[in-house]
Amino acid sequence: MAVIWGTNYAVVKQTLSEMLPLSFNALRFSLASILLFLALRFSEGGFLQDRKDFKGILVLGLIGHTFYQMLFIYGIAQTTASLSALMLATSPLFVVLLDLLIGVEKLSRRIIFGVLLSLAGVFMLVTGSRPDIASPRTHIMGAILILVGAAFWAAYTVFSKQYLVRYSPLRFTATTMILGTIILDLLAIPSLLAQEWQAISIGGWAGLIYSLGFAVVLGYVIWEVGVKKVGPGRTAIYQNLIPVIATAVSYLWLGETIGGVQIVGAGMVLLGIYLARRP
């Protein structure tokens, strides 16, 4: 999953040079939802077993597939792929904060230090970046959108656990994605109408196929399997590999680089998360 998602940042960034952000997201999630629906239909037969879970799963669909994906796609469109990956690496930090709020985790000096260290690292990541694709203000706004998206993904991860006790990862992912995609598609109608589909190259379509088939369908299912088997906190730790892979792929493919200040900031973020999550 880390390899798939790490590579996906460069793929998405390249594809967005040919497609509007919401057009790209609406199309890939619509197709991914169809694939997941067919997989669920032929393997497990249906959606929810308890109608009382519908409201909660609808909310998670909005959090994890509508709002998060809108923040992610607009964020990466305005900043670099490598910085986007580094900002999303803060998601485990938000998992810790949510665990504190709902009483799963108890506050300690180690957690406080880890959180503050990670936040200082985030500040260094943003202020130490050297954008070459947008104005500094737009670049920073993109980073902020990604950071807010990380909080939404953390919420989706934490509150998914209660449903994964009763539903398989495939059933849960398919249901939340289809519900979230319906709203995403409605919001994307203006972009879908404005998109110049005939101008998209073979490479652009290939990027869309990779992103929907691997990053969305396969990646989401792997993620839910991890949450079900080892819990949201331990699963979120594997996100630490994603920015490393994303930065390497972005450097080799897109020619993106990160400065010394950002390297230090990234180290502070990862160390802070390690300290906050360490048992």
Q: What is the pLDDT of residue 205?
A: 96
Please check whether residue 274 is in contact with residue 123, taking contact to mean a CB–CB distance below 8 angstroms. Answer: no
pLDDT one-digit tens code per residue, 51-80: 788 899 999 999 999 999 999 999 999 888
pTM, rounded to two decimals:
0.83
pLDDT one-digit tens code per residue, 14-53: 999 999 999 999 999 999 999 889 988 888 877 766 778 8
Please check whether residue 193 is in contact with residue 63, taking contact to mean a CB–CB distance below 8 angstroms. Answer: no
The distance from CA 135 to its chain's CA centroid, rounded to whole angstroms, is 24
Please check whether residue 65 is in contact with residue 185, taking contact to mean a CB–CB distance below 8 angstroms. Answer: no
Distance, in Å, from the CA atom of 73 to the CA atom of 211, rounded to the nearest integer, reads 12
What is each CA distance from 154 to 191, 261, 265, in whole angstroms? 28, 26, 21
